[in-house]
Amino acid sequence: MFRAGQRLGGRAATTGTAPRHRTRVARTDRTAPKGKERQPSDELQTKVITMRMSRTLGRTLGAAATALGLATAMAAAALMTASPASAATLTEVTNFGTNPTNLRMHLYVPDRVAARPGILVAMHYCTGSGPAFYSGTQFASLADRYGFIVIYPSATRSGQCFDVYSSEGLRRNGASDHTGIISMVQYVIQRYNGDPNRVFATGSSSGAMMTNVMLALYPDVFRAGAAFAGVPFTCFATTGGSTWNSQCANGQVIRSAQEWGNAVRNANPGYNGPWPRMQLWHGTNDETLRYPNFNEEIKQWTNVHGLSQTPTYTDSPQAGYTRTRYGSSGPQAPVEAISMQGVTHNLPINAAEAIRFFGLDNTTPPTTPPVQTTPPIPPTTPPVQTTPPIPPTTPPVTGGCSATVVSLDQWPGGFVATVRVTAGSAGTNGWRVTLTLPSGATIVNAWNADRSGNSGTVQFTNVSYNGRLGPGQTTEFGFQGVGTGTGMTTSSCSAS
């Protein structure tokens, strides 16, 4: 059920992988006429979240088909052979309800949606977006297979991290991201006859932290969640407007199971309904949200369910992975935890295993797709940037590629930079960026690129999942350094 061959920071070779979706965004408004429902017509951020949690999750694809098993894969192949190619697209929805932090909402409704579809909220990593998470994971492909609907929220504050730290962000119905996400869920339930008893949440990194928040604040809405490299609810809480909790990130917030469980219960005083089930994933070599957070999450959710921290069931679904279940030995235990030996914060997103845990893989969508009354409308203007990027240090080029430093966040003794690579008119099969650091600056960590050197002139090359770019397409990589980043220059970008 799990894929083998995981390579750290990259994508494992796999066979039988469900097709990745290519993002084509149409816009819609809640006031669109009912007949057109099939295409329903935005300081310094968390220093290390922004710098390290930026993860292009496309590197983790490939788990879906192997997780579902050979028989399921053969049945899906037969189904796809007999059915026309999917025409469903990712759609941006506006005016979906109360949205205090100006989140953006993208929605994926498969062509063959179930009569009473389940709903999955899939939340991105820092510096990511809903469309990037859509393109980089297999949740939409699995929605095609099983007929559920996927909501992809996008954080729009600087750094594009979800609020998992403020007092409003940790209070039910507070003026923060979670309230906007609940509005998205309610919108889908009302507009698409969604099943309110089958609403789920998942995410990676910042999105995994937000998964813990959503389940803790709204146990009456979410039935289960899957958190890929997160921290317990309230672990990242800060005061004074700070967006970063270094003690939590470093795995130094250690509490009793009862204390963690009380944090969830105190967020919903008087609630006596069932608590959401939780699936937890964490790499032992996580350098951003360190591994002790995994055990703290287990303590929190087992206590919420009134369970011991002693596993009911333990196995090794693939080499280096240890899976423990609490409260049941079955595939939908109240708490399931997967420890991934040697894996960093770049952990794979095993979408199929999450869908299996949710129970969304037992839905049969209708055999005849609904008639679409209008084709999707491509966007006429690009999304508005709320914060202007730093001016390019190198001019764009017609062929090859160009590289631009689009953000530079600094604090005494350190900095984080994000670099955007843009393909020229011929596209790229791979790229290399040469960057010169100021004197005394040293790189200590990088993501979404391999690097050669740590100081002076440093070269960054694409990794397996972001080298191929179409004409004009972009990808981003980032790095953390000590010293100052002021004065760095990107001297060249070459394409292959």
More confident call, 99 vs 470:
99
Question: Cβ-count burial of 354 within 10 angstroms (0-12 exposed, 13-18 middle, 19+ buried)?
Answer: buried
- pLDDT for 364 equals 65
Q: Which residue's structure tokens are 């039910």?
A: 172
Report the range of poorest mean pLDDT among 32-36, 207-211, 278-282: 32-36
Q: What is the DSSP letter of 249?
A: H
Nearest to 32 by CA among 21, 24, 40: 40
Q: Which residue's structure tokens are 């039988």?
A: 16
Confidence label for 276 from pLDDT (cuts 50, 70 and 90): very high
In Å, the largest CA–CA distance within the chain is 64
Report the range of poorest mean pLDDT among 295-299, 381-385, 440-444: 381-385
- pLDDT for 410 equals 66
**Hey, how many other C-beta atoms are within 10 angstroms of the C-beta on 31?**
8
Angstrom distances, CA of residue 399 to CA of 36, 419, 435, 471, 493: 41, 19, 19, 9, 11
- pLDDT for 164 equals 98
- pLDDT for 5 equals 33
d(CA 67, CA 156) in angstroms, rounded, equals 33
pLDDT at 405 over 60: yes
Question: Cβ-count burial of 292 within 10 angstroms (0-12 exposed, 13-18 middle, 19+ buried)?
Answer: middle
Instruction: Convert 66-94 to b/e letters by CB count within 10 Å (16 or more is b).
Output: bbbeeebbeebeeeeeeeeebebbbbbbe
> What is the residue-averaged pLDDT of the chain?
80
Query: What's the rounded mean pLDDT across residues 434-458?
Result: 87
Query: What's the rounded mean pLDDT across residues 39-58?
Result: 41
Query: What's the rounded mean pLDDT across residues 244-268?
Result: 96
- pLDDT for 243 equals 87
| Catalytic hit among 41, 176, 205, 407 | 205
- pLDDT for 19 equals 44
Q: With residue 298 as reference, give the H or E element that holds it.
A: helix 292-304
Cβ-Cβ contacts under 8 Å for 330 (sequence gap 6 or more): none
Confidence label for 466 from pLDDT (cuts 50, 70 and 90): confident
- pLDDT for 465 equals 66
- pLDDT for 366 equals 63
205 is catalytic: yes
Q: What is the pLDDT of residues 341-381, one digit of tens each?
A: 999 998 999 999 999 999 999 866 665 544 433 434 444 44
More confident call, 448 vs 223:
223
Q: What is the pLDDT of residues 171-198, one digit of tens each?
A: 999 999 999 999 999 999 999 999 999 9
Nearest to 326 by CA among 275, 265, 290: 275
- pLDDT for 367 equals 53
Cβ-Cβ contacts under 8 Å for 350 (sequence gap 6 or more): 2, 3, 60, 63, 67, 281
In this structure, the strands spanning 224-228 and 277-283 are parallel
Q: What is the pLDDT of residues 123-151, one digit of tens each?
A: 999 999 999 999 999 999 999 999 999 99
| Amino acid code (one letter) for 382 | P
- pLDDT for 397 equals 44
- pLDDT for 268 equals 93
Question: Which two structure tokens, joined as six digits, stand for 325?
Answer: 């279940």
Question: Which two structure tokens, joined as six digits, stand for 485?
Answer: 């980043």
Q: What is the pLDDT of residues 15-33, one digit of tens each?
A: 334 444 544 455 444 433 3
Q: What is the pLDDT of residues 241-250, one digit of tens each?
A: 888 899 999 9
pLDDT at 161 over 50: yes
- pLDDT for 85 equals 46
Nearest to 121 by CA among 46, 194, 23: 194
- pTM value? 0.64
